[in-house]
Structure 1
Amino acid sequence: MDLELTPDQRDVAEAFARVFAHDSPSERVRAAEEAGFDPALWKVLAGMGAVGIAVATDDGGSGGGFVELALVAEEAGRRLACAPVVEAAVAARLLADAGLGDVVADAVAGERVVVFAPRPAEAGVARLVPAGAVARAVVALDGDELVLASGSPGEALRDLGFLAAADRPLGGAGVERRVLATGARAHELWRQARDRWRLGAAAACAGMAAEALEIAVRYAAERQQFGVPIGSFQALQQPLADAAMAADGARLVTREAAWRHDHGLDSWPAAAAVAFAHSAQAAVRSAELCLHVHGGYGYTLEYDAQLYLRRAKAVRLSAGDPDLLWEEIGAAAMTGGEL
């Protein structure tokens, strides 16, 4: 296994790092916080091929893989981008796999925001769909049917992670329901997309963990107490070192899962589950530590620590109860079964 990035992959990472640094600074994130969506940023990302980055060129995409998507998502996480990069990219790939070329073209171009719902619907409603308050269509599993539900964006819920989350009905008045697959095929396509979403979300969390840690380290080097930087105190050095190891581990397990996916290994879904569980946990802990290092300032809206903590917790909960996921991973490891 060689996780060293190719020259083309390094170019992708560097290009999107520059874009997010320029088009998703803290000021832009705060301006888009209420809506959870930055239309100008979305236009730039779509123009660069981010939505179709994991879609084959024959289907209108960029022809990359999930290593490339992970690199984009990692930079998006670093900058708390108010754009559903992962949900839209996973939906586009799913639609391409289902043979919906007409919808894929609009989705990849960014003209129509189409997102994936990472949890099965309940009573015909996809709950707390990330970007559900801005998407024109949602791909979701409704019982034994995989559906594309098109309609007006949902009503934004109180969303502390500024993900534009909303409940989306998958049928009824004002909703155009298109069945993509039924039965076993529907479940197979949805599970594959869910695992790909976990992979992309893990990368975003790895980016958040790394950036929250960098913010904490910078502050610890600047803040003086008793005439010395607070970063010189062992009480802070130890947790910062622990957070650094967790953040590095998050990046490693995520890129390994993406590598396994792109090389067609059967182990990639389990690797994606572990990557998401660990990276989401690392992001929350890194953000909590960042807030702790800032002391009372960390709780104020003027500092960015609270932004990272809110986003990290929201992403971690987007897939449901994190403890249940760890239990599923453990059970699968003990029995050799599938997640």
Structure 2
Amino acid sequence: MDFELSAEQRDIVAAFDRALSRESSIERVRAAEKAGFDPDLWRVIVDMGALGVVQPAGAGGSGSGAVELSLIAESLGRHLGCVPLVEAAAATVLLAESGVPVASGSAGDGLIVFAPRPAQGGVAQVTAGAAAAEGIVVLDGADLVLAIGAVAEPVDDLGFTGAASVRLDEPGVERTVLARDEEAYASWLGGVARWHAGTAAVLVGIAEEALRVAVEYATVREQFGVPIGSFQAIQHTLAEVAIEVDGARLLSRAAAWSLDHAEPDRGGVATAAYAFASDVAVRAAEACLHVHGGYGFTLEYDAQLFLRRARALRLHGGDPEQLWEAVGAATMAKAQ
């Protein structure tokens, strides 16, 4: 397993970093904070082919894969982009596998997102991007369904992710059954693995940028006549975070590689990557906030943005403790 990026992959990273630096500045993030969705940014990344990387070349995509998507997702995390790229990508793959035409409009029209948790009582649980989406792909009982035109109930201030719960059984909802019974569950698990791997990459980007902001502040903020970065307590904290970020990146890319190569344990690797990256992103954001001291807790400073987004993405996957229990159970079962 070689994680060295090819020249083409490095070009992808550079292109999206440039675009996101321009189109997802902190000012743009703050402007999109309430809605959790920036339609202009969505138009840019779709037009650049961000969704096309998960589609086969014969279906209008680039024929790349999960690794390339993870590189774009990392960049999106670094810039706190207010668009549901991973949710839309997971939905795109499932729709393509089911033979449903994929047409996600570049301005948000036609946006379809994937729900990483099953519906409960006819309601798709809190899903990132659902507040701006036209439709949602969700496991509803024994069926994997695409629901178009469902009523979305936005959740305020959940990491400015455009999160909403979606009522699937309201009048006027157009339901398309993509798969039933065991096939539905298997397809949904594949979507969950893609969501876990992609979201892990977003979280790696958040952690990396939070660490960069913390280090930058520690070099300019002075106490007792010296930069606070010269204090061992801060040095050790940031060094530990840097090590964890590198580990989270390796595991995230291992998960993407496993998906592209259809490895038997790809679902477990993706779950582990997401669980670990979730914890690392929260710790990195907390370290960033603490380095800023009292300023870090104020809305005027950017440190709190990283913590809010990291905590939200950790919650979108369900109870973090249950995720770690699932990872442990799978590891023990594999060892037997």
The two structures share one fold, judged by TM-score above 0.5: yes
State the match for 1:63 in structure 2.
63
State the match for 2:148 in structure 1.
150
Is 1:315 the equivalent of 2:279?
no
CA distance in 1, matches of 2:109, 2:9: 26
Shift, 1:214, TM fit: 0.4
State the match for 2:162 in structure 1.
164
Give ranges in structure 1 of 5+ residues lacking alignment: none
State the match for 1:233 in structure 2.
231
- Aligned residue pairs: how many? 335
TM-score w.r.t. the length of structure 2 is 0.97
CA distance in 2, matches of 1:334, 1:222: 47
CA distance in 1, matches of 2:291, 2:142: 48
State the match for 2:80 in structure 1.
80
Q: Structure 2 matches for 1:181-220, cutoff 5 A?
A: 181-220=179-218
Q: Structure 2 matches for 1:1-339, cutoff 5 A?
A: 1-100=1-100, 102=101, 104-106=102-104, 111-151=109-149, 154-336=152-334
CA distance in 2, matches of 1:162, 1:212: 17
**Aligned amino acid, residue 188 of structure 1:** A
CA distance in 1, matches of 2:91, 2:106: 10
User: Residue deviations 1:2-37, cap 9 Å, x none?
Assistant: 111111111111111111111001000000000000
User: Residue deviations 1:203-241, cap 9 Å, x none?
Assistant: 000000000000000000000000100000011111111
Shift, 1:189, TM fit: 0.3
Contact 1:114 1:137 in 2 (8 A): yes
Contact 1:51 1:108 in 2 (8 A): no
**Aligned amino acid, residue 37 of structure 2:** F
Shift in CA distance, 191/9, structure 1 to aligned 2, threshold 3 Å: same
Give ranges in structure 2 of 5+ residues lacking alignment: none
**Aligned amino acid, residue 216 of structure 1:** A
Instruction: Say which SS state the counterpart of residue 154 (structure 1) adopts.
Output: strand
Shift, 1:174, TM fit: 2.5
Contact 2:114 2:137 in 1 (8 A): yes
CA distance in 2, matches of 1:181, 1:260: 24
Contact 2:219 2:227 in 1 (8 A): yes
Instruction: Say which SS state the counterpart of residue 175 (structure 2) adopts.
Output: strand
User: Residue deviations 1:168-208, cap 9 Å, x none?
Assistant: 01222121111111000000000000010000000000000
Shift in CA distance, 157/289, structure 1 to aligned 2, threshold 3 Å: same
Contact 2:150 2:166 in 1 (8 A): no
CA distance in 1, matches of 2:282, 2:275: 11
CA distance in 2, matches of 1:127, 1:260: 28
**Aligned amino acid, residue 144 of structure 2:** L
**Aligned amino acid, residue 133 of structure 1:** A
**Aligned amino acid, residue 212 of structure 2:** E
Instruction: Say which SS state the counterpart of residue 52 (structure 2) adopts.
Output: coil
Contact 1:135 1:153 in 2 (8 A): no
CA distance in 1, matches of 2:267, 2:310: 22
Shift, 1:270, TM fit: 1.2
* Identity of matched residues, %: 54
Contact 1:66 1:259 in 2 (8 A): yes
Instruction: Say which SS state the counterpart of residue 173 (structure 1) adopts.
Output: coil
- Greater CA drift, 139-148 or 44-53: 44-53
CA distance in 2, matches of 1:171, 1:48: 35
Shift in CA distance, 68/176, structure 1 to aligned 2, threshold 3 Å: same
Contact 1:87 1:197 in 2 (8 A): yes
CA distance in 1, matches of 2:327, 2:104: 36
CA distance in 1, matches of 2:140, 2:92: 18
CA distance in 2, matches of 1:63, 1:281: 32
Contact 2:76 2:202 in 1 (8 A): yes
User: Residue deviations 1:96-133, cap 9 Å, x none?
Assistant: 01111x2x134689641100001000011101111111
Contact 2:145 2:175 in 1 (8 A): yes
**Aligned amino acid, residue 252 of structure 2:** T
Shift, 1:153, TM fit: 5.7
Shift, 1:158, TM fit: 1.5
CA distance in 1, matches of 2:143, 2:310: 31
Shift in CA distance, 108/4, structure 1 to aligned 2, threshold 3 Å: farther
**Aligned amino acid, residue 18 of structure 1:** R
CA distance in 2, matches of 1:169, 1:208: 31
TM-score w.r.t. the length of structure 1 is 0.96
**Aligned amino acid, residue 54 of structure 1:** V
